[in-house]
Amino acid sequence: MKQFYKTFTSALTAILLMTACGNAGAQNEKKDVKGTHPQAVAELDAAQFDEKVYDMDAEGLKYLGDRPAIVDFTASWCGPCQRITPILEELAVEYKDKIVIYKVDIDKERGLAQAFGISSIPAILYIPADGGEPVITVGARNKDKFRNEIQTYLLKKSD
C-alpha cells in the first residue's frame, strides 16, 4: 500500500507541475494575443521632442515628422491616463504605417506641458503632417472616439 501512495503522489506531483507550466505558457499567450505592445508608444523627453516633433527653440511651430502624430500628455498618477494607455498602444499598432504616437510625462517634462498650455490630463495633441493646425483634446476616451479623431484631425476622412 505504501508503494501505491508513493507512486500516486509522484504521479500527482508530475501532473500538477505539468499543469502549472502549461498554464504559465497560456497566460503569456493571452498577453500576446491581446495585442499589448509595450514599445508601440514611445515616451519622449524634451530633447527627443525637439528632434521628432517640434523644435521648441525655433521661431514658430513646424512639425518635424513625416507622418501625422499623436502626443499623449500623461502622468503615472493619473487614473484616466492609465486607462487610455493600452488603447493608444493598440492604435499605434493598428495605424503603424499611417501615424506615430508618443507620450510625454508632464511630471518629468513640465516645460513641454506649459508650452502647450496643458492644465488637465489626459491631454491629447493631434498633429497633422500636412502643416495643418494641431488640435488638443482633454479627457479620456474609448477606442472608437480615438479612431474618429484620428480620421478627422490626422487622416482627414469622415465616416
Domain residue ranges of the chain, discontinuous segments joined by +: 1-32, 42-154
Decide: 72 and 88 in contact? Cβ < 8 Å.
yes
For the stretch 24-81, pLDDT in tens is 333 333 333 344 444 589 899 999 999 999 887 777 788 899 999 999 999 999 999 9
Catalytic entry in 81, 91, 123, 150: 81
Let me know if 93 is exposed, middle or buried by CB neighbors in 10 A (0-12, 13-18, 19+). Answer: middle
Provide, rounded to the nearest whole percent, the portion of the chain with pLDDT above 90. Answer: 62
Decide: 127 and 53 in contact? Cβ < 8 Å.
yes
Catalytic entry in 78, 91, 104, 124: 78
The yes or no reply on domain 42-154 and CATH 3.40.50.1820 is no
Which pLDDT value is given to residue 59? 79
Decide: 70 and 101 in contact? Cβ < 8 Å.
yes
Cα–Cα dist 154/159, whole Å:
13
The string over 125-144, giving b where at least 16 C-beta atoms fall within 10 Å of a residue's C-beta and e elsewhere, is bbbbbeeeebeeeeebbeee
The structure's pTM equals: 0.73
Which pLDDT value is given to residue 55? 83
Cα–Cα dist 76/29, whole Å:
27
Let me know if 81 is a catalytic residue: yes
Angle at 63 between CA 80 and CA 108, to 5 degrees: 40
How many Cα atoms sit within 13 Å of 156 on the Cβ side?
A: 10
